[in-house]
């Protein structure tokens, strides 16, 4: 209301000026127009950055126009900023006000309050507030990006497909990919060599997605076109142009309704069409076969409860394996091997466990053996703790909510940030948090920590629905590499690690290179 009155006042002054002068030359008109527009823009920005002040919520002074995001993407990673505010304000309030550019957000600090949001009262926070536009960008029709009724309907269709017993049935297909990966390694790496470990792991994870999510061949050579598509689609995401102004993906998050009005596409049309054609072709091909491998494509296409998934829904789930899972899985294994390269005693302990379990099962990769890889799971969990691929969780408040036992309230429409990376490095929950120590996940220590002190996959109804399969895939990939090779730092290994500040997830930059030697 205040802004509207000021705009009317400014416009009225310009009109009055015109009447008094009766004539106005072009330079004067342009100057007054520019002055009025600048003033209006300033008032809008000023009002946006006054949200938490008017609410009486603790917050740091924002910087125009970045809010609290100044330097993010160039000098800083978003995880660094969230960690700084978490450290400064923990213990002062259950949450503080935070500005992601012009968007006011709630930065959660208290684990009890986080548990209320993620688990106890999750019905108030079932949306993520991510951009989706199913009509023009069908690959956004997935469980990660959808909200509201659309998410609930798709979740109800698919939640029973992700039960642990169902996931275990995909294990034989995963083993076929692992076997091909092992044969490729034996052929390509026969002696001590410097290796782009990140690229090596890309190969395994891309083949897993190609085979299990897209129903493609598990043959390395045949999957080269898919591999090129999988590794490059991120670099060719489309950018919509409006008056020759580039609209970045972050703006789609800040102004989703405007982005939908502009028919903004998060994924390039060519990538979308290629993915849809590939899946539809594979589904038609399988319809003619008497038996097909038990993989995710089969699970999705044969699902009839409570109703059948359509082609776009299947494509959205398959594509989410790529953009949400591929780089995350690559980074986790690469970072784990990086840490083990600098701590050979831990590496050798893990290798002994792997070989002991393999010997017990006579080198038959049965799924039961994964339960016995206790130390390997500790290593992966410690990697997920120190380097969570997604350093924060997002939730959108869908109903007004009073935090229990406090005087604080969250309003409908408030975006909530849960700073996962900051919590994972909090010395109150992890002794020497910046040290890579798998003993952080010894069973005796896990029992003493709050459940929300470890959130690599989220928690509650909107946690990562594929987390059981992700851990299975990570274990298989890591045990295969440790069984075959020893890893050590080399002259190209960057220490300390640096991360790509332009990404919202933690990705090493440059890629991790290590010395690999056959065992």
Q: Which residues are annotated as a binding site?
A: 464
Distance, CA of 172 to CA of 348 (rounded, Å): 28
Backbone angles phi, psi at 345, to 5 degrees: -65, -40
* Inter-residue contact 485 to 474 (CB < 8 Å): no
For 413, the 3-state DSSP assignment is: coil
Strand partners, 241: 246
Q: Angle formed by the axes of helices 467-484 and 327-342, to 10°?
A: 40
Half-sphere exposure of 490 (CA within 13 A, CB side): 16
What sign for the dihedral angle of Cα 128, 132, 138, 139?
negative
Give the count of beta carbons closer than 10 Å to the beta carbon of residue 44: 14
Give the count of beta carbons closer than 10 Å to the beta carbon of residue 208: 25
Report CA-CA distances (Å) from 154 to 81, 127, 130, 312, 383. Answer: 34, 13, 16, 12, 31
* Inter-residue contact 138 to 272 (CB < 8 Å): yes
Residue 442: which H helix or E strand, with range? Answer: none
Give the count of beta carbons closer than 10 Å to the beta carbon of residue 257: 8
Q: Which parts are annotated binding residues for heme? A: 464
Torsion-angle region of 18 (φ positive above 0: left; ψ -120 to 50: alpha; else: beta): alpha
Report CA-CA distances (Å) from 153 to 109, 146, 319. Answer: 32, 10, 19
Q: Which long-range contacts (CB under 8 A, 24 or more apart) does 223-226 make?
A: 226/278
């Amino acid at each position: 209301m205040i802004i509207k009155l000021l705009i009317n006042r400014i416009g009225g002054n310009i009109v009055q000026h015109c009447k008094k002068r009766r004539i106005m030359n072009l330079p004067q008109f342009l100057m007054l127009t520019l002055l009025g527009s600048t003033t209006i823009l300033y008032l809008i920005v000023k009002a946006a950055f006054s949200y938490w002040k008017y609410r009486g919520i603790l917050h740091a002074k924002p910087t125009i126009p970045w809010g609290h995001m100044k330097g993010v993407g160039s000098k800083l990673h978003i995880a660094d900023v969230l960690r700084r505010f978490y450290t400064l304000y923990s213990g002062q309030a259950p949450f503080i006000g935070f500005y992601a550019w012009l968007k006011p957000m709630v930065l959660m600090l208290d684990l009890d309050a986080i548990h209320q949001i993620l688990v106890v009262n999750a019905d108030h926070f079932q949306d993520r507030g991510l951009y989706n536009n199913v009509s023009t960008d069908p690959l956004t029709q997935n469980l990660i990006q959808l909200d509201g009724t659309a998410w609930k309907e798709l979740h109800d269709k698919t939640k029973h497909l992700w039960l642990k017993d169902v996931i275990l049935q995909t294990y034989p297909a995963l083993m076929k990919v692992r076997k091909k990966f092992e044969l490729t390694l034996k052929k390509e790496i026969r002696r001590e060599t410097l290796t782009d470990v990140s690229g090596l792991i890309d190969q395994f994870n891309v083949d897993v997605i190609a085979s299990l999510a897209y129903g493609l061949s598990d043959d390395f050579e045949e999957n080269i076109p898919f591999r090129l598509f999988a590794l490059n689609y991120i670099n060719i995401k489309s950018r919509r142009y409006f008056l020759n102004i580039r609209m970045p993906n972050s703006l789609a998050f800040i102004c989703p309704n405007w982005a939908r009005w502009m028919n903004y596409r998060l994924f390039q049309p060519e990538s979308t069409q290629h993915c849809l054609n590939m899946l539809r072709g594979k589904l038609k091909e399988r319809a003619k076969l008497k038996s097909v491998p038990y993989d995710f494509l089969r699970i999705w296409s044969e699902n009839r409860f409570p109703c059948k998934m359509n082609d776009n829904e299947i494509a959205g789930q398959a594509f989410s394996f790529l953009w949400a899972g591929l780089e995350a899985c690559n980074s986790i294994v690469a970072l784990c091997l990086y840490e083990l390269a600098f701590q050979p005693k831990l590496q050798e302990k893990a290798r002994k466990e792997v070989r002991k379990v393999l010997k017990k099962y006579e080198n038959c990769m049965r799924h039961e053996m994964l339960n016995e890889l206790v130390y390997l799971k500790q290593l992966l969990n410690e990697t997920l703790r120190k380097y969570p691929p997604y350093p924060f969780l997002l939730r959108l408040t869908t109903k007004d909510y009073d935090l229990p036992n406090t005087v604080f309230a969250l309003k409908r429409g408030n975006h909530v940030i849960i700073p996962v990376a900051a919590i994972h490095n909090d010395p109150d929950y992890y002794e020497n948090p910046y040290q890579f120590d798998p003993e952080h996940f010894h069973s005796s220590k896990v029992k003493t920590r709050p459940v929300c002190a470890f959130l690599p996959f989220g928690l509650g109804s909107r946690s990562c629905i594929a987390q059981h399969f992700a851990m299975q895939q990570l274990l298989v990939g890591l045990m295969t590499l440790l069984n075959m090779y020893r890893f050590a730092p080399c002259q190209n290994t960057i220490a300390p690690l640096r991360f790509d500040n332009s990404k919202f997830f933690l990705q090493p930059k440059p890629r991790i290179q290590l010395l690999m030697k056959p065992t």
